[in-house]
Amino acid sequence: MSATNLTLAIEQGTTYRRLITWKAIDGSLHDLTGYHARLEIRSWTWLTVLLDLNDSAGLTLGGALGTIAVAMTATQTAGLGAGSARYDLIVTAPNGDVTRLLEGAVNIDPAVTVSS
């Protein structure tokens, strides 16, 4: 399976939430019970990790529902420099198999007003 390319649009300094559902080719839900997940956002040059989320912080796996909920706080998105970056989302099965589920660009829209 090849990773799905999906561009993320994040507004700097705001809360970001996205629900991802992993379905098989036949449309059935992929059971994520016992899986682990990790999402990294890196600078366009791949050198700097801007944000690292996992199933202990920022990612919530929905088990039999096949969902991965992504949540970034306003503080986390404020720390992302405005502009473009790259990310991928990998999942690790209970047997150790690793799948890159999503990958792509991250467009970070700069904040003008700073929340208090």
Per-residue pLDDT of the chain (116 residues; tens, 9 = 90+): 689 999 999 999 999 999 999 998 899 999 999 999 999 999 988 789 999 999 999 999 999 999 999 999 999 999 998 899 999 999 999 999 999 999 999 999 998 876 66
Cα(8)–Cα(106) distance, integer angstroms: 5
Residue 53's pLDDT is 98
For 78, the enclosing helix (H) or strand (E) is helix 74-78
Cα(29)–Cα(31) distance, integer angstroms: 6
The answer as to whether 12 is a domain residue is yes
The answer as to whether 95 is a domain residue is yes
Q: In this structure, what token pair is assigned to residue 19? A: 């629900």
The answer as to whether 116 is a domain residue is no
CATH code: domain of residue 89? 2.60.40.10
**How many domains is the chain partitioned into structurally?**
1
Q: In this structure, what token pair is assigned to residue 12? A: 């700097």
The answer as to whether 90 is a domain residue is yes
Q: What is the pTM for the complete model shown? A: 0.91
The answer as to whether 65 is a domain residue is yes
Cα(107)–Cα(105) distance, integer angstroms: 6
The answer as to whether 114 is a domain residue is no
Residue 115's pLDDT is 63
The answer as to whether 24 is a domain residue is yes
- Residue-range definition of the domain harbouring residue 20: 4-109
Cα(101)–Cα(91) distance, integer angstroms: 7
What is the helix, strand, coil percentage profile of the chain, to 5? 5, 55, 40
Q: Is there a contact between 41 and 106 (Cβ–Cβ < 8 Å)?
A: yes
The answer as to whether 115 is a domain residue is no
Residue 116's pLDDT is 61
